[in-house]
Amino acid sequence: MSSDERFLRQIPLIGEEGQEKLKKARILIAGAGGLGSAIATYLAAAGVGYIRIVDVDIVENSNLNRQILYHEPDIGACKVEAAEKTIRALSHDVEVDAICRHIDEKTVRDLVRGTDLIIDGMDNFAARYILNSASLDEKIPFIHGAVNGFYGQVTVILPGITPCLRCIVPTPPTWERNPIIGVTCGVIGCIEATEAFKYLTGTGEILKNRLLLWDGLRGEAESLQIMRYPDCIDCGSSAIEQDVRRFRV
């Protein structure tokens, strides 16, 4: 199947130029769980040319209710290696950089460097805050997504322009690692992938300065206006001053 034929149904929406932008895009998917599965699947299918996917976990039976990159024969395998196999089966044109590594303060700069976009597939805010700081330092846009049961949220963080994650969620919520169903990961992961698609192709209006909240129990979504917090420890005036002092000779 030719590339033109594969993308026949989406090129009318983004044009040949938009499709070429997807082919040249380099994205980091941080986390290969429920969110990362949906994000990776749809962006690979859309024609993103380079996907760096990072996770340190192995596939467990309890993952299979929501992590659609994996199948029963993958149980016990490193997630990113199994993910690479699935993504390549979906499209051999995608370059997959599968990295089995913790995302922490020591590794994050190397992991984000050289990418055009960071996409949140994590399941904890400690790691998300590390990605948020790296996004700000390296000036790489960061699409945040999180899920809890039937609920989820998404926003697009543009360093120096929009509120950062710390502005929106100053401290970790108490609902981390609560029960979760696959469809919520699918909904939120697909919204994150949609925002990435729009950002990379310059199509539509991204979730800039807005936080989308999804309520799966009611089948409703709302978009809230959000603002930068002047005293934010990651992007506020005090953080900027500390950064200036750090590089002052």
Which positions ≥6 away from 77 have C-beta within 8 Å? 58, 59, 70
3-state secondary structure 79-101: HHHHHHHHHHHHCCCCEEEEECC
Q: How far is CA 63 from CA 71, 87, 145, 167, in A?
A: 10, 18, 18, 31
Indicate which CATH number applies to the domain containing 20.
Answer: 3.40.50.720
End-to-end CA distance of the chain: 57
Record the pTM. Answer: 0.92
Give the tens place of pLDDT for each residue, 112-162.
999 999 999 999 999 999 999 999 999 999 999 999 999 999 999 999 999
Range of the domain at 121: 3-247
**pLDDT score at 56:** 97
Residue 184 has pLDDT above 50, yes or no: yes
Give the tens place of pLDDT for each residue, 224-243.
999 999 999 999 865 544 44
Mean pLDDT of all residues in 74-87: 98
DSSP letters spanning 27-50: EEEE--SHHHHHHHHHHHHHT-SE
What proportion of the chain, given as a percentage, has pLDDT over 90? 88
Name the pLDDT band for 245 (thresholds 50, 70, 90). very low
Task: Report how many domains make up the chain.
Answer: 1
- The Cα–Cα gap between 163 and 169 comes to 10
**pLDDT score at 186:** 98
Q: How far is CA 203 from CA 14, 19, 80, in A?
A: 7, 11, 30
